[in-house]
Amino acid sequence: MDVITEIEQANAIEKYLQKHFSDLERCSPYNENILQEFLKLGPFHSFIPRPLGGCGENSASYLKTLETVSYYSLPLGLTMGITGSLFIMPIVKHAPSDLRNRIISEFLHGTPLGGIMITEPTGGTDIFGLQTSLSATQGGMLLNGAKCWGGLTGKAQHWLVAARKMQDGKLTRSLNLVYVPLSSPGIKVHTYFDALGLQPIPYGETRYSNVVVPEEHNLTPGGKGALRVLYDTLFRSRMNIPAIVSGLCKRLSEESAAWASRRTVFGQSIDHYDQVQFRLSALRGFAQINHCIRRFVGTWMDGHDDVSGDYVLVNSVKFVSSTTMAIAADSAIHLFAASAYKRNHLVGRAYVDCRPFQIFEGSNDVLDDNTFSVLVGRYGRVTPEAISQELEKFRLHMPSDLPKGVLDALDVREEGSQRQRVQYGRIIEWIVVRSLVEYIGADQKVPVEDARRVTNRYIASCTAELAYL
């Protein structure tokens, strides 16, 4: 593609998306032709920094693109997220320069896709239990094992695969991330899954049998473990999710408001009903929350080369964005009611497609527990002061208007059961996002009134639930 400015490219992409994904009621998943034409517009160039030939100035460049694409099509936004966040970004940042330049050149001059394979048939949460192995062989390593649920299974040509080093016939704890092209001999897609949603994105089980991986394809050569690289990759990718959610929630909010103004019940449009206005306000709130997060994390990621220790921030934005998108889709389908309960309706599809965001990139339950445990590990126990100190690390401040009941509940004297830790984790995560919303609202003068109301509601309801766990 010729060198064009970021703005020209963004305009071309938006025009293309408008043409193909504006229809609310005839919303079909993208097909191969639409995808190829879209890829020719170079959407991944914003993930590639200018010195490498792309048009990415900073994180805001690709986050804005992700937000726009997801406004029009959630599966296309996720396709971009998989290839951009989980493949191109770690390659740009961590791959040896020869390998990096070769792969990036393909993304600059062609229309390939990429992805990451961590999860195995035995599970995704326990990355120390992975069974896929790398053993030394002449001139490199041999990869053996099975992976499942890799987004774009069988379709993406470029993969990063997580595997443990094998030594003396035993799996070690040393985790490695290796580049493996799909064309390598010994790779076979064993099964394609009949996934519940996200239809155009293929999922399945891929098997690796004695696949030769040159040492130069290891993202951490020289026998170093890749845990930090893996965390940095996953943490950045989790921070990119709110851009996808921001686009979707904005669309759901706008479409719902437009629908509510034209749908008539008992002689008046439904947006006259107080309950409908309440839902519309929450939908605006979810869009505002995720827009604020998208802006905040862009600046944060640019200012911090290593985010692998930022558990509380990362967990908070991933938990709140994936939770709010599901609540938003649920509320929107309620407003559209029967008319959206169709496979070809944008809102009906969003309702199904949103669910796995709470599962992939770290099951939310596990992240919530981790948030609590990290605070206890750092500050001895969870208190409002400990949360304040953690917030200051991100240059954020404890909201000044939290009710006394919430502050009292946050003075946790005993570690308690896991369900309590998870619930406290959620309250902390909502508070982190509430403080981030206040910061962006004041700093960038974006509306946050609805976002404030909705975050307060969830902080209050999570706190009230503590008594009944």
Ligand X SMILES: Cc1cc2nc3c(=O)[nH]c(=O)nc-3n(C[C@H](O)[C@H](O)[C@H](O)COP(=O)(O)OP(=O)(O)OC[C@H]3O[C@@H](n4cnc5c(N)ncnc54)[C@H](O)[C@@H]3O)c2cc1C
Cβ-based nearer residue to ligand X, 85 or 316: 85
Residue 11 lies near ligand X (rule: CB under 6 A): no
Strand partners, 171: 166
DSSP annotation of 448 reads -
Which range touches ligand X (CB under 6 A), out of 205-213, 234-242, 277-285, 359-367? 359-367
Segment interacting with ligand X, rule: CB under 6 A, options 93-101, 114-122, 173-181, 396-404: 114-122
User: Is 125 a binder of ligand X (CB under 6 A)?
Assistant: yes
**Region of 2-10, 149-157, 167-175, 447-455 interacting with ligand X (CB under 6 A):** 149-157
Candidate list 255, 369, 429, 438; residue touching ligand X; CB under 6 A: 369
Terminal CA-to-CA distance of the chain, rounded, Å?
57
x/- map, 190-219, ligand X, by CB under 6 A: --------x---------------------
Q: How many helices (H) and strands (E) does the chain have?
A: 15, 9
Compute the least distance from the CB of residue 177 to ligand X, in Å. 11
Among 365, 379, 383, 388, binds ligand X (CB under 6 A): 365
**Minimum CB distance to ligand X, residue 443 (Å):** 33
Looking at beta carbons only, is 296 or 357 nearer to ligand X?
357
Q: Which of 90, 99, 84, 47 is nearest to 230 (CA)?
A: 90
Q: Which amino acid is at 391?
A: L
Question: Which window, 32-40, 228-236, 310-318, 352-360, contacts ligand X (CB under 6 A)?
Answer: 352-360
Residue 119 or residue 290: which is nearer to ligand X going by CB?
A: 119
Q: State the Cα–Cα distance between residues 449 and 90, nearest whole angstrom.
A: 37
For residues 169-189, one letter each, b for 16 or more C-beta atoms within 10 angstroms of the residue's C-beta and e for the rest, the string is: eebeebbbbbbbbbeeeebee
Please pick, from the candidates 48, 60, 95, 117, the single residue that binds ligand X as defined by CB under 6 A: 117
> What is the DSSP secondary structure assignment for residue 266, as one 8-state letter?
T
Among 77, 84, 112, 151, binds ligand X (CB under 6 A): 151
Nearest of 44, 67, 41, 40 to residue 54 by alpha carbon: 44
Residues 442 and 447: their CA atoms lie apart, in Å, by 9
H/E stretch holding 19 reads: helix 6-21
Residue ranges in 77-96 that form contacts with ligand X under rule CB under 6 A: 82
* Site residue total, ligand X (CB under 6 A): 20
Query: Counting contacts by CB under 6 A, is residue 359 touching ligand X?
Result: yes
Burial profile 33-66: b = 16 or more Cβ within 10 angstroms, e = fewer: ebbeebbebbbbbbbbbeebbbbbeebbbbbbbb
Residue 129 binds to ligand X (criterion: CB under 6 A)? no
Indicate whether 31 belongs to the interface with ligand X (CB under 6 A). Answer: no
Candidates 116, 143, 287, 374; binder of ligand X (CB under 6 A) is 116
For residue 115, state whether it binds ligand X (rule: CB under 6 A). yes
C-alpha–C-alpha distance, residues 185 and 143, integer Å: 11
Q: Which of 360, 394, 439, 458 binds ligand X (CB under 6 A)?
A: 360
117-125, 177-185, 289-297, 377-385 -> range binding ligand X (CB under 6 A): 117-125
Specify the amino acid at residue 131.
Q
Q: How far is the CB of 193 from ligand X (least distance, A)?
A: 9
Positive or negative CA dihedral for 167, 169, 175, 178?
A: positive
Smaller CB separation from ligand X, 353 or 390? 353
Beta carbon of residue 204, minimum distance to ligand X (angstroms, whole number): 11
Closest CB to ligand X among 115 and 298? 115
> Residue 265 class from Cβ within 10 Å (0-12 exposed, 13-18 middle, 19+ buried)?
exposed
**149: contact with ligand X by CB under 6 A:** yes
Contact in structure between 267 and 90 (CB atoms under 8 Å)? no
Does 256 help bind ligand X (rule: CB under 6 A)?
no
Instruction: Write out 112-156 in H/E/C secondary structure.
Output: CCEEEECCECCECCCHHHCCCEEEEECCEEEEEEEEECCCCCCCC
Q: Which residues bind ligand X (CB under 6 A)?
A: 82, 115-119, 123-125, 149-151, 198, 356, 359-360, 363, 365-366, 369
